[in-house]
Amino acid sequence: MAQIFPKRANTLPILSLVGALVGGVVLIFLVWYYFSPEFTVVGYQPEQPVEYSHRLHAGQLGMDCRYCHNWSENSSYANVPPTQTCMNCHSQVKAQSLKLLKVRQSWATGEPIKWVRVHHLPDYANFSHATHVNNGVGCETCHGRIDQMKVVSQQEPLSMGWCLECHRQPELYLRPKDEITTMGYVQPADFVERNLATIRREGIQPPTNCSACHY
């Protein structure tokens, strides 16, 4: 009987297998990258109900982060400031500005401003601002150069792997307690040695086990 398929057709199963393997690897890479926090959340910059410039307040005016986010040292959450905090200044400064109309309306009615949250962690991840701040993790480490942002955007992925980098080698990330809110902190030459001494003295042991953050 005459051969129906040419001899070269015998390579088709091999080529199909190789194509499936290569395609699978490419697909895994695409999912790994394009579905990762580095791609999906870094750069997230929602529009806020009131135009607020951190570059002006934290940068040019030099306001300390803790003036507005005053729970950050004592609570798991770094609170969004209430309208009263805004009005402490703006009852006198730019008191008639149209840009601050919603702030004045909120103050008059008692209805809070509906700020849009920028940084999100999943419900199954436990994170305490107080624990990190009081152990020497600066605002800039997680939130970036807030003092240079007219509109705040997410600068870091806040992924598990990203967090573990710090937990495994905290000496590369910690800073003195009085430099927590400093933007553009310059590390001294003996930065690591100082941190290692602090870690030993204060018994800082960032956990890397699952139950530390997931319980």
**What does the block give as tokens for 52?**
């607020």
Each residue of 117-176: pLDDT tens digit? 999 988 899 999 999 999 999 999 999 999 999 999 999 999 999 999 999 999 999 999
Q: What is the mean pLDDT of residues 47-70?
A: 96
Q: What is the pLDDT of residue 37?
A: 67
Q: Which of 181, 143, 150 is nearest to 66 (CA)?
A: 181
Q: How far is CA 61 from CA 57, 150, 157, in A?
A: 5, 13, 28
pLDDT higher for 195 or 8? 195
**What does the block give as tokens for 74?**
């004592």
Domain-wise residue ranges, the chain: 43-212
Q: What is the pLDDT of residue 17?
A: 83
Q: Which of 88, 57, 69 is nearest to 151 (CA)?
A: 57
**What does the block give as tokens for 168?**
């495994």
pLDDT higher for 6 or 78? 78
Each residue of 93-133: pLDDT tens digit? 999 999 999 999 999 999 999 999 999 988 899 999 999 99
Q: What is the pLDDT of residue 127?
A: 93
Inform me whether the pLDDT recorded for 179 exceeds 70: yes
> pLDDT-based confidence at 39, cuts 50/70/90?
low
Q: What is the pLDDT of residue 3?
A: 65
Burial class (CB in 10 A: 0-12, 13-18, 19+), 73: middle
Q: What is the pLDDT of residue 192?
A: 97
Q: Dihedral angle at the C-alpha atoms of 191, 194, 200, 206, nearest 10 degrees?
A: -30
Instruction: Determine the 3-state secondary structure of 145 from DSSP.
Output: coil
- Whole-angstrom distance, CA of residue 103 vs CA of residue 50: 8
**What does the block give as tokens for 92?**
């006198």
Q: What is the mean pLDDT of residues 29-51?
A: 79
